[in-house]
Amino acid sequence: MTQATKTPTASSFMNTQAKTIAPDLPLREIVQYLREHELSNVPVVDTQAGGKPLFLGFITEADCLHYLANEIFYGSPAPRYIAEMIMQRHPICVGPDVDLFELVSIFESHRLRHLPVLDGEKHLLGIVSRRDILHALHDYYENFLQKAESERHPIDLRKLLNLRFFWQT
């Protein structure tokens, strides 16, 4: 039996170029930003804290729907909503070393579409999407099938040796 393929981790397929917003961005501009960039979510980060963006929260389309509908139906709140007010402050997040199968389990258990990937100091490293996981799982599966097929039909060394001697005579 051959050695098992190393299971990929979040760091190997996460989107490291995730779009982010500041905590003081108004709801109206958040929705415009999501539409303009064709996003369904956006991390809220503090970039004032130094080089790496410090993760503060997460806003999804569902969050925007809720607050936008409430603002329209019930009237404008005073002060108006900003990212810091509507963001999920403690969303489910993962580290870069979480493996593919753990990610699948988290996504299935919580019916998520995206997860922020953070380092130990709460700096945003990237975003993992359901689609990223599907692609990584499919690649892993293809490799698994290829290995299983080669193990099922190992090379017959007798034929290989006979072929070698056949050509030399």
**Given a cut of 90, is residue 127 above it in pLDDT?**
yes
Q: How confident is the model at residue 167 (pLDDT cuts 50, 70, 90)?
A: very low
Q: Is 122 left (phi over 0), alpha (psi -120 to 50) or beta?
A: left
Residue 162 has pLDDT above 90, yes or no: no
Give 3-state DSSP helix, strand, coil % of the chain, rounded to 5.
Answer: 45, 20, 35
Predicted local distance difference test score (pLDDT) of residue 169: 44
Confidence at 2, pLDDT banded by 50, 70, 90? very low
Alpha-carbon torsion, ordered 146, 135, 125, 60, to 10 deg: -160
pTM: 0.80
In order of 136, 145, 166, the CA distances from 18 in angstroms are 18, 32, 60
State yes or no: pLDDT of 45 exceeds 60: yes
Domain coordinates in residue numbering, the chain: 10-168
Percent of the chain residues topping a pLDDT of 70: 84
CATH architecture of the region 10-168: Roll (3.10)
- pLDDT, averaged across the chain: 88
User: What confidence score (pLDDT) does residue 137 get?
Assistant: 94
Tokens of residue 121, six digits: 């100091």
